[in-house]
């Protein structure tokens, strides 16, 4: 394996791993704080048990998020020293802010975990809210870095040296607003789906457990709110990249020729040699609508640039289809969930947590959001190739000169694999310990 490929793979695996914990760090505190709020509002002890249990899960995930994040902050330098040499001063501000947000999150999580009974219930609840806010802020700040890599601005290059740096450049990047919205909503939706799935499993074993009922309902509520918004924000992201990173969208859609009234290609595989899509189902005009809001709008195709400037087509297209596919399935699920919920007001109709088919579907649907997130990042990152900083620095020029990167790739990958397995085991134990003996 050549060193560039090894470095790219290592970065991708580390980020793909970290993002799992990052989304939990953003969304779990929201669920946890909401449950605690319901407890204070209703006095129902089941809500309190739920808040504690979720807080405990959050603590485990938070720790792994923190260590994998620590690894990443070094990996940027270890794997991409040339990137840091040029971009370091520019991305310093958002990463500093991220550090502050993370620190606050850690402090308030500590207070939430250990403070109950020692601080007033109101203050305790507010600590939960502070965890949620700072967790989300953390993600927004790092996303600013990524947005800037996609749409760099706020500096000048004179004789190969970066000057005239605007320290706030990342937060002013054009892609920031759409990307941050899409990332945050996506995290909420994905975590809501996972939580729904886990508690659906529990409810199928112990249908009368109040805590799991509350959990399922709350997670369903969060999914109901965030999933449709997430799809709207995906539409805005698509419109944005159609304008500013047209090659990324063209690769995502396998659109070789600049076209008016462009069709959307579902499935299929792009062939760069013959410049055609094989085996795709084409739905007329949809891409133009998605990208420009006008059925007759012009969508820039790959032919606008020479092939060596194209990102890897197959991966980007596949990833985009996977994301959109997952998003559509999630939308279908929440619509059904909404119907079940609405109908449950009619006497004799089951509540969502008692609807066995809905529970079964929730189990099946639980990984969809996480898959969509991994796929979405693949679109963003692979779709930016061959650039690490769009239009300024190529990935191949940013990589470390160190040979044998494949060794660290193998090392860190195995490390993350072990951690992943253990986290899953622990969370399973956490859930199992809530089920009565004999039904585990």
Partner 1 sequence: MTAALVLRAVIGAALVAYVLSGVADFGAGVWDLLARGRLAERQRAAIAHAIAPIWEANHIWLILVVVLAFTGFPVAFAVVATALHIPIAMALVGVVLRGAAFTFRAYGLQRSDLRARWGWVFAWSSVVTPICLGLVVGGMSSDAIEVEGGRVVSGYLAGWTSPFAWGVGALTLACAALLAAVYLAADLDDDAELQAAFRRRAMICEVITGACALVVALLAARDSPRLWDALLAGPWALGVHVAAFAAATTTLWALLTRRFALARVTVGLQVAAVVVGWGVASGDDLVLGAVPLYAAGVVPHVVEPVLWTLAASGVVLVPALFWLLRVFKSRRASTDEPAPEA
Q: Report which DSSP code applies to 399.
A: S
Give the separation between CA 64 and CA 353, rounded to whole angstroms.
31
The residues, any chain, with a CB within 8 Å of residue 157's CB and separated by 6 or more, are 163, 392
Quick check: 19 binds ligand HEM (CB under 6 A)?
Answer: yes
Quick check: 226 binds ligand HEM (CB under 6 A)?
Answer: no
Give the separation between CA 415 and CA 420, rounded to whole angstroms.
9
Among residues 382, 351, 133, which one has the least CA distance to residue 251?
Answer: 382
Quick check: 200 binds ligand HEM (CB under 6 A)?
Answer: no
Q: Which does 16 bind (CB under 5 to 8 A by kind): ligand HEM, partner 1, ligand HDD, none?
A: ligand HEM
State which residue, 49 or 321, has the beta carbon closest to ligand HDD.
Answer: 321
| Interacting residue with partner 1 among 13, 351, 415, 435 (CB under 8 A) | 415
State which residue, 226 or 395, has the beta carbon closest to ligand HEM.
Answer: 395
Q: How far is the CB of 340 from ligand HDD (least distance, A)?
A: 21
Q: Is the dihedral of CA 421, 438, 197, 361 positive or negative?
A: positive
Site track 99-138 with ligand HDD (rule: CB under 6 A), x = hit: ----------------------------------------
Quick check: 116 binds partner 1 (CB under 8 A)?
Answer: yes
Q: Which does 369 bind (CB under 5 to 8 A by kind): ligand HEM, ligand HDD, partner 1, none?
A: ligand HDD
Q: Which residues is 162 bridged to in the sheet?
A: 157
Q: Which does 120 bind (CB under 5 to 8 A by kind): partner 1, ligand HDD, ligand HEM, none?
A: none
Q: Report which DSSP code applies to 267.
A: S
3-state secondary structure of 185: helix
Q: Which does 12 bind (CB under 5 to 8 A by kind): ligand HDD, ligand HEM, partner 1, none?
A: ligand HEM
Quick check: 139 binds ligand HEM (CB under 6 A)?
Answer: yes
Give the separation between CA 212 and CA 176, rounded to whole angstroms.
37
Give yes or no for a cis peptide into 386 (omega within 30° of 0).
yes
| DSSP E strands, 110-175 | 156-158, 161-163
Torsion angles phi and psi, residue 354, rounded to 5: -110, 0
State which residue, 127 or 324, has the beta carbon closest to ligand HDD.
Answer: 324
| Interacting residue with ligand HEM among 65, 221, 254, 268 (CB under 6 A) | 65
| Tokens read off for 149 | 């890599």
| Interacting residue with partner 1 among 391, 429, 439, 440 (CB under 8 A) | 429
Per CB under 6 A, contacts with ligand HDD among 14-53 are: none
Among residues 2, 9, 8, which one has the least CA distance to residue 413?
Answer: 9
State which residue, 8 or 52, has the beta carbon closest to ligand HEM.
Answer: 8
3-state secondary structure of 116: strand
Site track 362-391 with ligand HEM (rule: CB under 6 A), x = hit: ------------x--xx--xx-xx--x---
| Interacting residue with ligand HDD among 27, 130, 189, 218 (CB under 6 A) | 189
| Long-range contacts formed by 281-290: CB under 8 A, 24+ apart | 285/261, 287/253, 287/255, 287/262, 287/263, 288/259, 288/260, 288/261, 288/262, 290/235, 290/238, 290/239, 290/242, 290/264
Residues 72 and 18: beta-carbon distance below 8 Å: yes
Residues 152 and 173: beta-carbon distance below 8 Å: yes
Among residues 95, 74, 69, which one has the least CA distance to residue 416?
Answer: 69
State which residue, 196 or 388, has the beta carbon closest to ligand HEM.
Answer: 388
| Interacting residue with ligand HDD among 62, 108, 112, 377 (CB under 6 A) | 377
Per CB under 6 A, contacts with ligand HDD among 298-337 are: 323-324, 326-328, 330
Per CB under 6 A, contacts with ligand HDD among 223-252 are: 230-231, 234-235, 237-238, 241, 248
Per CB under 6 A, contacts with ligand HEM among 69-108 are: 69-70, 72-73, 76, 80, 83, 98-99, 102, 105
Name the one residue in this structure whose structure tokens are 């619509």: 335
Give the separation between CA 218 and CA 261, rounded to whole angstroms.
42
Quick check: 225 binds partner 1 (CB under 8 A)?
Answer: no
Q: How far is the CB of 339 from ligand HEM (least distance, A)?
A: 32
Quick check: 277 binds ligand HDD (CB under 6 A)?
Answer: no
Longest pairwise C-alpha distance within the chain: 76
Residues 153 and 174: beta-carbon distance below 8 Å: yes
| Interacting residue with partner 1 among 122, 161, 208, 438 (CB under 8 A) | 161
Q: Which residues is 163 bridged to in the sheet?
A: 156
Q: How far is the CB of 192 from partner 1 (least distance, A)?
A: 20
| Interaction site with ligand HEM (CB under 6 A) | 8, 11-12, 15-16, 18-19, 21-22, 25-26, 61-62, 65-66, 69-70, 72-73, 76, 80, 83, 98-99, 102, 105, 135, 138-139, 142-143, 145-146, 183, 374, 377-378, 381-382, 384-385, 388, 395
């Amino acid at each position: 394996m050549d060193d560039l490929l090894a470095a790219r793979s290592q970065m991708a695996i580390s980020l793909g791993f970290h993002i799992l914990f990052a989304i939990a760090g953003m969304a779990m505190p929201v669920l946890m704080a909401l449950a605690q709020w319901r407890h204070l509002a209703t006095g129902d002890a089941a809500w309190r048990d739920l808040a504690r249990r979720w807080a405990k899960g959050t603590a485990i995930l938070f720790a792994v998020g923190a260590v994998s994040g620590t690894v990443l902050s070094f990996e940027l330098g270890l794997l991409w020293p040339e990137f840091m040499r040029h971009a370091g001063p520019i991305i310093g501000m958002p990463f500093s802010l991220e550090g502050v947000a993370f620190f606050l999150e850690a402090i308030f999580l500590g207070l939430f975990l250990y403070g109950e009974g020692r601080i007033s219930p109101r203050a305790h609840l507010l600590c939960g809210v502070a965890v949620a806010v700072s967790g989300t802020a953390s993600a927004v700040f790092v996303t600013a870095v990524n947005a800037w890599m996609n749409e760099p601005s706020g500096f000048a290059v004179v004789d190969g040296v970066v000057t005239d740096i605007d320290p706030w450049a990342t937060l002013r990047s054009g892609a920031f607003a759409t990307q941050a919205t899409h990332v945050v909503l996506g995290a909420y939706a994905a975590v809501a789906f996972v939580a729904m799935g886990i508690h659906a499993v529990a409810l199928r074993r112990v249908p009368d457990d109040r805590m799991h009922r509350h959990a399922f309902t709350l997670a369903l509520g969060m999914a109901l709110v965030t999933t449709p918004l997430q799809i709207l924000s995906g539409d805005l992201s698509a419109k944005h990249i159609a304008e500013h990173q047209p090659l990324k969208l063209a690769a995502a859609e396998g659109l070789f020729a600049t076209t008016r009234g462009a069709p959307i290609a579902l499935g299929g595989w792009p062939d760069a040699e013959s410049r055609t899509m094989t085996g795709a189902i084409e739905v007329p005009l949809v891409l133009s609508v998605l990208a420009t809001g006008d059925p007759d709008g012009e969508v820039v195709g790959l032919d606008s640039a020479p092939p060596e400037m194209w990102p890897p087509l197959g991966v980007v297209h596949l990833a985009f289809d996977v994301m959109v596919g997952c998003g559509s399935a999630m939308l279908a699920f929440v619509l059904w969930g909404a119907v079940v919920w609405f109908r449950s007001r009619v006497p004799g109709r089951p509540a969502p947590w008692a609807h066995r088919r809905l529970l079964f579907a929730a189990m099946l649907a639980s990984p969809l959001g996480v898959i969509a997130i991994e796929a979405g990042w693949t679109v963003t990152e692979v779709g930016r190739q061959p650039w690490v900083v769009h239009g300024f620095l190529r990935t191949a020029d940013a990589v470390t000169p160190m040979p044998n990167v494949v060794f660290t790739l193998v090392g860190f990958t195995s490390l993350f694999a072990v951690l992943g397995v253990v986290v899953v085991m622990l969370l399973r134990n956490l859930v199992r310990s809530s089920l009565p003996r004999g039904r585990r």
